[in-house]
Amino acid sequence: MTGRGPARSGRSGAGRPRRTSAPSAPRATAPGVDARRLAAEALERIADGGAYANLVVPPMLERSALERRDRAFVTELVYGATRMRRACDWLVDRFLPDPERIDPTARAWLRLGAFQLAFLDTPPHAAVGATVEAAPRKLKGLLNAVLRKVSTGLPVTWPDDATRWSQPEWIVDVLTADLGPEQARLSLEAMNRAAPVTARADGYVQDLASQWVADAVAAVPGERVLDVCAAPGGKATALAATGAHVVAADARPSRIGLVAANAARLGPAASTLSCLVADGTAPALRPASFDKVLLDAPCSGLGALRRRPDARWRIGRSDVEVLAALQRRLVDASLQLVRPGGELVYSVCTLTNAESEGIDDHLAEHHPGLEVLAPPGDPWVPLGRGARLLPHRADTDGMYLLRVRRPG
């Protein structure tokens, strides 16, 4: 008999009493451990599985038993670590012998820890301790070693601006060329911060910049208004709330379903809205049949990077020209649907010249008879005949807007 294990009842009273220790209390779990596990799983699915952050996180949270505060923490971790992926990788790769061979699970946990240390102001003992505790057993040693080195080396001198802003170099290059170095810096820094939540009077959550675009259409009761690329329906429902008769079109049935769902949630406020599946480059609609047409065109989204944390890693430089070509086709087709004397509003949530001034140049060359309407004022900044909204000027998404009127 070795003495290990509990004394058997038949021998407990014989001889010298055995010393027994009090049962040990369960080891306390550090706060946020479950939240970190969920966040790491989401990060791996986004980076390695190609999932979209805004699509993968909500259902994961719904299935979890996390409390409200921890759910918000998960969102902050996933969006932040995805947004700052390049910077986080640079922070940890300095201490890895072979960074290229790190597997996706380890990479997700390293990003999670580095983000907390460098960008979330989490105390080092909490960031390292809770992350290591939450991680799979096989990664604990690696995480503990690397994250402790990261924590003792902060703050750092970044090797270049693209790493500091956690952006692909091409985005920094394009925005620097199109906005100038100072405005590009301010815009990129603003888009590394979480977006505030803004809601309309009807409760629909929508960025102020998008609300201002809908306002710029200036729809009035009884007007026929077309929203060419309407999904998910924020602007279309805002237009319908004015009393205008709105046709919300989109090329994909699944996306027009989002518009219908959003309209249904708003109830009577969107009762003048109808949905239509239609390719905006060749819509099956009667020419010159709308008083107003809003073309909120598909774009590179480089003005809305704070809301789409993974977008910067999905889009490439060549996509900008591809999208600009699509925008030219859309604007040509949309103009044909505006009645004489009616108006077209063109908008994109990006900051590139190719998708803003470039489209205006196309209109000027191919549709010279259009009357250009006054662009909105401050905080919009005049750009050619339209106006650009920079993310840092009013803490909104970045946008471009141009309003034109067909000759009567």
Extract the tokens encoding 338: 């505006």
Residue of 88, 229, 299, 349 with catalytic role: 349
Extract the tokens encoding 153: 């080396």
Q: What crossing angle do the helices spanning 104-119 and 68-83 adopt, rounded to 10°? A: 100
Residue 275 known to be catalytic: no
Distances (CA, A) of 249 to 210, 223, 258, 322: 17, 17, 11, 22
Q: 403: helix, coil or strand?
A: strand
* Residue 5: how many other CB atoms lie within 10 Å: 7
* Residue 103: how many other CB atoms lie within 10 Å: 10
The answer to whether the CB of 351 falls within 8 A of the CB of 312 is no
Burial class of residue 176 in the structure, from the number of CB atoms within 10 Å of its CB (0-12 exposed, 13-18 middle, 19+ buried): middle
Q: Which amino acid is at 354?
A: A
70 contact partners, CB below 8 Å, separation of at least 6: 32, 34, 35
What ranges in 153-278 are assigned the alpha helix state H?
161-164, 169-179, 181-190, 208-217, 234-240, 253-266
Nearest to 124 by CA among 153, 97, 93: 153
Q: Which residues pair with 274 in a beta bridge?
A: 247
Q: 290: helix, coil or strand?
A: strand
* Residue 282: how many other CB atoms lie within 10 Å: 10
90 contact partners, CB below 8 Å, separation of at least 6: 158, 159, 163
The answer to whether the CB of 287 falls within 8 A of the CB of 261 is no
Catalytic residues: 349
